[in-house]
Amino acid sequence: MPQPGNTTVIVNPRARGGQLGRRFESLRGVIVEALGPVDFRFTERRGHAAELTQEAVERGVSTLVSFGGDGTHSEVASSIAELGAGDAVGLGILNAGTGGDFRKMLEGSRSLESACRTIAETDPTPVDLARITHLDLDGTESSRHFINITTAGIGGLVDHYVNHAAFRLGGRLDYALATLRAHLHYRPTHLRVIVDGASLGEYELLVACACNGQIAGGGMRFAPSARLADGLLDVVLIEARSLLRLLPLSPRIYSGTHLNAPGVHHTRGRRIEFIPLDEARPAFLDIDGEEAGFGPASIEVIPHAIRVHGPRREVL
């Protein structure tokens, strides 16, 4: 459980289209009532959550709470691991994002009050992260950790269209329009997939997923058998298909019953490589719900890299 007065809450005021920033003062009291005196720090730009995490770790905090969307949670978790502070700092999650996929694997995540109680009343549990090396948006090689799911394929293109939209409608509407646009323009990536040094094959793919967690994309249960603390990543490949042929598969992805569907492949491993075979059809990357660059990507699980408050028993 958090030590009183030794907790920092990193708040992303831009989460959920800026709603968190606008409503924060009405939410502050809920957090303080559950966690006691805390130090609130606010992100100002992409990458700032990692800087605030480093400052908090250097101050010796025992609990870091990420208050934002999946991208913020991922940035804080990655920074904790990069700093080698996984054994010293517990991570709490308060969701304020549009998708909120990682929090669906945590106890008490349906409301701010219950999520705060989970942080206040539980000891943090060791969970895995994965480390990915890939090409950044500017084409330079980059490495970082992720806590939930990385995809190569159409998901990163959806992120790109959301981030570069001429106008924003807010939340799920932005993603719905971007998803439709992506399906109209996406050219299936041609990937070689290697798992633990052995080639799984070459595929024309809608999406390739490396999964530490189960859920991404606003509720799609890509990897229903993935576990956060088993030292393995689930690999899920969905072969390219028309939008019409995708329609009957979509509800099965949301319910997690798609793994035995035609054109869907599933395995597990510790080290995964996504290698594009046609540079004219890039492998757009989505890392924990954020546009992240392109393949090739090399991914390795890091067992018990950090400790998180409240993961549900069935996902460990």
Find residue 239's DSSP bridge partners: 205
Q: Are residues 277 and 137 in the same domain?
A: yes
Q: What is the pLDDT of residue 190?
A: 97
Q: pTM for the whole thing? A: 0.92
Q: Are residues 181 and 296 in the same domain?
A: yes
Per DSSP, helices labelled H in the chain are 19-35, 48-59, 70-82, 112-121, 154-163, 171-185, 243-246, 250-255
Q: Is the pLDDT of residue 26 over 60?
A: yes
Displacement of CA 86 from its chain's centroid (Å): 18
pLDDT tens figures, 124-165: 999 999 999 999 999 999 999 999 999 999 988 888 887 766
Residue 141 domain-assigned (yes or no): yes
Q: Domain range spanning residue 163?
A: 130-303
Residue 315 domain-assigned (yes or no): no
Q: Are residues 108 and 176 in the same domain?
A: no
pLDDT tens figures, 289-312: 899 999 999 999 999 999 999 999
Find residue 308's DSSP bridge partners: 91, 125
Residue 110 domain-assigned (yes or no): yes
Which has the higher per-residue pLDDT, 180 or 189? Answer: 189
Q: Are residues 188 and 109 in the same domain?
A: no
C-alpha triplet 117, 84, 230: angle, nearest 5° = 65
CA pair distance 209, 73, nearest whole angstrom: 19
CA pair distance 153, 27, nearest whole angstrom: 37
Out of 71, 97, 123, a domain closes at 123
- The structure tokens listed for 22 are 């606008």
Q: Are residues 299 and 207 in the same domain?
A: yes
Residue 217 domain-assigned (yes or no): yes
- The structure tokens listed for 306 are 């950090």
Q: Amino acid letter at 234?
A: D
Q: Are residues 116 and 144 in the same domain?
A: no
CATH number at residue 223: 2.60.200.40
Q: What is the pLDDT of residue 276?
A: 97
Out of 81, 98, 123, a domain closes at 123
pLDDT tens figures, 99-123: 788 999 999 988 999 999 999 999 9
Q: Are residues 215 and 295 in the same domain?
A: yes
Residue 312 domain-assigned (yes or no): no
Q: Are residues 79 and 174 in the same domain?
A: no
Residue 169 domain-assigned (yes or no): yes
Q: What is the pLDDT of residue 107?
A: 94
Q: Are residues 236 and 217 in the same domain?
A: yes
Q: Is the pLDDT of residue 171 over 70?
A: no
Q: Are residues 145 and 270 in the same domain?
A: yes
Q: Are residues 245 and 96 in the same domain?
A: no
Dihedral angle of Cα 242, 246, 248, 252, to the nearest 10 degrees: 160
pLDDT tens figures, 222-237: 999 999 999 999 999 9
Q: What CA–CA distances, in Å, run from 274 to 151, 194, 200, 240?
A: 10, 7, 10, 16
CA pair distance 18, 157, nearest whole angstrom: 23
Q: Are residues 30 and 156 in the same domain?
A: no
- Sign of the torsion formed by the C-alpha atoms of 64, 69, 75 and 77: positive
What percent of the chain is modeled with pLDDT above 70?
95
Residue 314 domain-assigned (yes or no): no
CATH number at residue 42: 3.40.50.10330
Q: In 3-state terms, what secondary structure has residue 190?
A: strand
Report the candidate in 220, 232, 286 with the shortest Cα–Cα distance to residue 257.
220
Domains of the chain: total: 2
Residue 287 domain-assigned (yes or no): yes
- The structure tokens listed for 57 are 């770790």
Out of 123, 154, 170, a domain closes at 123
